[in-house]
Amino acid sequence: MAAGRRISGVSHTTFIVRALDRTAVFLCEGPGARETYDSAGGDFSRSREKFFLLGDTWLTAMEGEPPAVRSYQHIAFKVEAAAIPKFEARPRALGVDIERGRSRVAGEGGSLYFHDVDNHLFETHAGTPGEHLERYGAAT
């Protein structure tokens, strides 16, 4: 396919939140993001927003009305298996709800789930799509 005619990846993910400053603390002190922008008074989008980098992933938080209820819809961040306890300690220190990873098929990789105060679900996950497919194929 010609260049420019296919999607090359995910640009960014936007979360709608009640309080940007509270979300900044959560993202920076929890999973370890770095704040890179705050529109504060110079809003170019629908409302005030902040940008963050977590690894090479661009996250945006925008003020508004977040989801009313929790769901399993989530974003998962790739981590090494040995780092999962570290990523449990950070959100736990912020007082957010932590869920142990769902029961998994052996070889699928470990996970840790945690909610922010605006009902968004985040996951730290040690595993690759290839590992999942290989294991799921072996389980059928």
Domain boundaries, the chain: 12-139
Mean pLDDT of the region 97-116 = 75
* Residue 94 dihedral angles phi and psi, to the nearest 5°: -85, -5
What digits encode the pLDDT tens for the residues 51-86?
Answer: 999 999 999 999 999 999 999 999 999 888 888 888
Mean pLDDT of the region 28-34 = 94
DSSP 13: E
User: Which is the catalytic residue, given 29, 35, 49, 80?
Assistant: 49
Mean pLDDT of the region 126-130 = 78
User: What fold characterizes domain 12-139?
Assistant: 2,3-Dihydroxybiphenyl 1,2-Dioxygenase; domain 1 (3.10.180)
49 catalytic? Reply is yes
Cα separation, 24 vs 33, in Å, equals 9
**Per-residue confidence at 22, pLDDT binned at 50, 70, 90?**
very high
Cα separation, 20 vs 126, in Å, equals 29
- The pTM (predicted TM-score) of the whole model is 0.81
Mean pLDDT of the region 82-97 = 86
Cα separation, 63 vs 75, in Å, equals 19
Cα separation, 100 vs 111, in Å, equals 7
